[in-house]
Amino acid sequence: MSTYIGPIRDMQFVMKELAGLDEVAALPGNEEVSSDLVDAILEEAGRFATEVLSPLNHSGDQEGARWSEGAVKTASGWKEAYRQFSAAGWTAIAAAPEYGGQGLPKLLSTAVMEMWKSANMAFSLCPMLTGGAIEALMLRGSDEQKSLYLTKMISGEWTGTMNLTEPQAGSDLAAVRTRAEPQGDGSYKLFGQKIFITYGDHDLTDNIIHLVLARLPDAPEGVKGISLFAVPKFLVGADGSLGARNDVHCVSIEHKLGIHASPTCVLAFGDKGGAVGTLVGEANRGLEYMFIMMNEARFAVGMEGLALSERAYQHALGYARERVQGTEAGVRGGGKVAIIRHPDVRRMLMSMKSQTEAMRALAYVVAAATDLAHHHPDPEVRAERQAFVDLMIPVVKGWSTENAIDVASTGVQVHGGMGYIEETGAAQHLRDARITSIYEGTTAIQANDLLGRKVARDGGQAIKAVIASVRQTAAEAGSLDGPAFKAIQNALADAARALEQAVDFVLDTYGTDIKAASAGSVPFLKLLGIVAGGWQMARAAIVARNALASGKEQSSFYQGKIITARFFADHYLSLSAGLSHAVVYGAAGTLDLPEELF
């Protein structure tokens, strides 16, 4: 089975030389953050990912989580790995210091999270969902809820879940039907069924805090009538002690394509008299709170796309160096060679590598922008960074996860027939990747968000600022010598033009013909992803070039960066024109076929 090794060198490069670690470290509250500390944390997290989480990835997939008699049993090794994970303090990395967290910046916790997800995505979902529940309680929890739950969730002693989905309410959460009845003592009883709840039950901890969307009896219809509740698996006494078993039960788990070791639960609330919960924040504002938290959650799932791409790449690279097949093209009388010598295998590996690095560059840049948007002393900088983050979140989520499916599939292809055999492990990355473009809002939902809220609503202001920056980077690349930089300049300038054309189309049609605009929403999202990724790779190439010119050590890393950026420019930025065409001219073909002709 392949061993995962954290790509620490590239992480350091992106954090320090591209995303602006120095600027993040200079923010108030980040006094302890330094380049050395980042190195030390990446090293140790990498070690944990390689030695503890990665070895359980394949066995967890084969064994899966199991359900019997109303309870979930996690795969072998999970419990001990979780114990070590929380004992080492990793559950607390980004959480608030007043509840025992380390409060480290998002830029750093993002890189660490990437390693958990690469090493073992099914495992990583447990702390990730707990993180979402912690954030909801931090954001709107009462003092009592915070003191009862937060410290234990941050230390990892308890976990959390997010209960949104119901059979009739998936993408459309306005259709939620779970009921919450006030008991007159400030508490509520919940009745209803939630489906697809990740780590909705497990044997890793003594308690689980469920955050649940439900309706009050007098709630208005639709989005404005949904409230958020905290419902513990075991009731918690005022002194923090565990009390009676609450009336929320896992009635089954799903059999899935991938992430087998992550239990996906059907949860029944109130079958035996009502599940006791407390209201989080104000009544009828639950969906609004979800929206505030959505950036975080969607970003995290985007990271899964990046993380699985990295894992698939490492796996494929290892195989390509070892597998001997055929002779080298153009070499007469040479012996048999490893398949990495075949140009098409190189193309596949470069496509995996360049997309992965582009996704990492974009995601970390967005993570750093989030830190600035939250903590920069200047309100103008905060607002400008926030607009950038808001624009890019659906891209990090939608583009990275769609890419991951492509990258993991290419990884299978590099393995040839062995890729199709489960024992090899390459197929697992593809199966695991497949969920990422579905949960936490499908790609279409991301694309709707991008078009409506992020592009049309501000009249294209944020995205035009990005296009201007892209052009500046293209010009900068053009001022450097060498064919790689010429290629990057041309591809980036053409891509900026293609994106601008698509943006103009969206701005023109969104108000007048929303169907035509929406028909091209996913190609539009992919287009923005490619341009943003190519832009960051171009910046990376320029940084690398300057580092080489200044005679820094590790020159081979920087040389590789320039070549990889050029590959991305020629193979992916070059797709921009086609995607833009699909946005601008594609609606007719999408919408014209009468429904009965399908």
Q: Which two tokens stand for residue 514?
A: 């929303």
Identify the bridge partners of residue 170 per DSSP, sorted by sequence position.
none
Based on the shown chain and the rule CB under 6 A, indicate whether residue 435 belongs to the binding site for ligand FAD.
yes
The amino acid sitting at 184 is: G
Question: Taking Cα atoms as reference points, which of 277, 236, 297, 282 lies closest to residue 140?
Answer: 282
Q: Measuring CA to CA, how many Å separate 83 from each of 29, 49, 207, 590?
A: 29, 14, 14, 51
Pick the binder of ligand FAD from 57, 165, 205, 354 (CB under 6 A): 165
Minimum CB separation of residue 407 from ligand FAD in Å reads 20
Based on the shown chain and the rule CB under 6 A, indicate whether residue 145 belongs to the binding site for ligand FAD.
no
Q: Which stretch binds ligand FAD (CB under 6 A): 291-299, 366-374, 394-402, 434-442?
A: 434-442
Burial of 220 (0-12, 13-18, 19+ CB in 10 A): exposed
Which option in other proteins, ligand FAD, none does residue 52 bind, with CB closer than 5 to 8 A by kind? other proteins
Q: What is the gyration radius of the CA atoms in the chain, in angstroms?
A: 24
Q: Which two tokens stand for residue 310?
A: 């990295």
- Total binding residues for other proteins by CB under 8 A? 32
Q: Which two tokens stand for residue 392?
A: 């890019």
Identify the bridge partners of residue 230 per DSSP, sorted by sequence position.
211, 278
Which option in other proteins, ligand FAD, none does residue 442 bind, with CB closer than 5 to 8 A by kind? ligand FAD
Q: Closer to other proteins at the Cβ: 314 or 473? A: 314
Q: Which stretch binds ligand FAD (CB under 6 A): 66-74, 195-203, 241-249, 281-289?
A: 195-203
- Which residue is associated with the tokens 């990046």? 306
Site string for other proteins, 534-573 (x = CB under 8 A): --------------------x-xx--x-------------
Residues in the chain: 598
Minimum CB separation of residue 436 from other proteins in Å reads 26
- Total binding residues for ligand FAD by CB under 6 A? 21
Contact 178, 194 (CB under 8 A): yes
Q: Measuring CA to CA, how many Å separate 188 from each of 182, 183, 195, 572?
A: 4, 5, 21, 53
Q: Which stretch binds ligand FAD (CB under 6 A): 34-42, 163-171, 298-306, 422-430?
A: 163-171
Which option in other proteins, ligand FAD, none does residue 138 bind, with CB closer than 5 to 8 A by kind? none
Based on the shown chain and the rule CB under 6 A, indicate whether residue 403 belongs to the binding site for ligand FAD.
no
Based on the shown chain and the rule CB under 6 A, indicate whether residue 163 belongs to the binding site for ligand FAD.
yes
Which option in ligand FAD, other proteins, none does residue 86 bind, with CB closer than 5 to 8 A by kind? none
Contact 565, 538 (CB under 8 A): yes
Minimum CB separation of residue 314 from ligand FAD in Å reads 24
331: phi then psi, degrees, rounded to nearest 5 = -110, 110
User: Which one of 17, 135, 440, 500 is the catalytic residue?
Assistant: 440
Pick the binder of ligand FAD from 13, 116, 191, 196 (CB under 6 A): 196
Question: Taking Cα atoms as reference points, which of 495, 502, 504 lies closest to residue 586?
Answer: 502
- Give the footprint of other proteins on residues 154-193 (CB under 8 A): none
- Which residue is associated with the tokens 């990884």? 411
Based on the shown chain and the rule CB under 8 A, indicate whether residue 8 belongs to the binding site for other proteins.
yes
Pick the binder of other proteins from 14, 41, 445, 565 (CB under 8 A): 41
Q: Which two tokens stand for residue 493?
A: 């300038």
Based on the shown chain and the rule CB under 8 A, indicate whether residue 102 belongs to the binding site for other proteins.
yes
Q: Is 440 an active-site residue?
A: yes
Pick the binder of ligand FAD from 122, 126, 148, 164 (CB under 6 A): 164
CA atoms lying within 13 Å on the CB side of residue 45: 28
Q: Measuring CA to CA, how many Å separate 225 from each of 132, 284, 288?
A: 22, 5, 10
State the DSSP code for 422. G
CB-CB neighbours of 88 under 10 Å = 14
Secondary structure element (H or E) that encloses residue 188, with its range: strand 187-198
Residues in contact with 264: Cβ distance below 8 Å, sequence separation at least 6, in sequence order: 196, 197, 198, 200, 253, 254, 256
Q: Closer to ligand FAD at the Cβ: 29 or 589? A: 589
- Give the footprint of ligand FAD on residues 443-462 (CB under 6 A): 444-445, 448
Which option in other proteins, ligand FAD, none does residue 80 bind, with CB closer than 5 to 8 A by kind? none
Minimum CB separation of residue 259 from ligand FAD in Å reads 6
Residues in contact with 161: Cβ distance below 8 Å, sequence separation at least 6, in sequence order: 129, 130, 133, 197, 198, 199, 200, 208, 209, 210, 211
Q: Closer to other proteins at the Cβ: 9 or 66? A: 9
Query: What is the spatial distance between Cα 164 and Cα 228, in angstroms, rounded to a whole number?
Result: 10
Query: What is the spatial distance between Cα 497 and Cα 345, in angstroms, rounded to a whole number?
Result: 32
Question: Taking Cα atoms as reference points, which of 146, 115, 552, 114 lies closest to residue 363?
Answer: 114
Q: Closer to other proteins at the Cβ: 93 or 219? A: 93
Based on the shown chain and the rule CB under 6 A, indicate whether residue 264 belongs to the binding site for ligand FAD.
yes
Query: What is the spatial distance between Cα 215 and Cα 180, in angstroms, rounded to a whole number?
Result: 6
Query: What is the spatial distance between Cα 571 and Cα 574, in angstroms, rounded to a whole number?
Result: 6
3-state percent helix, strand, coil for the chain, nearest multiple of 5: 65, 15, 25
Q: Which stretch binds other proteins (CB under 8 A): 90-98, 137-145, 364-372, 474-482?
A: 90-98
Q: Closer to ligand FAD at the Cβ: 269 or 439? A: 439
Secondary structure element (H or E) that encloses residue 438, with its range: none
Q: Closer to ligand FAD at the Cβ: 175 or 465? A: 175
Which option in other proteins, ligand FAD, none does residue 416 bind, with CB closer than 5 to 8 A by kind? none
Based on the shown chain and the rule CB under 6 A, indicate whether residue 30 belongs to the binding site for ligand FAD.
no
Which option in ligand FAD, other proteins, none does residue 170 bind, with CB closer than 5 to 8 A by kind? ligand FAD
Q: Closer to other proteins at the Cβ: 102 or 193? A: 102
Based on the shown chain and the rule CB under 6 A, indicate whether residue 350 belongs to the binding site for ligand FAD.
no
Based on the shown chain and the rule CB under 8 A, indicate whether residue 43 belongs to the binding site for other proteins.
yes
Q: Closer to ligand FAD at the Cβ: 198 or 278? A: 198
Query: Which residues are marked as active site?
Result: 440
Contact residues toward ligand FAD (CB under 6 A) are 129, 162-165, 170-171, 196-198, 256, 264, 435, 438-442, 444-445, 448
Contact residues toward other proteins (CB under 8 A) are 3, 5-6, 8-9, 32, 34, 36-37, 39-41, 43-44, 46-48, 50, 52, 84, 87-90, 92-93, 102, 318, 554, 556-557, 560
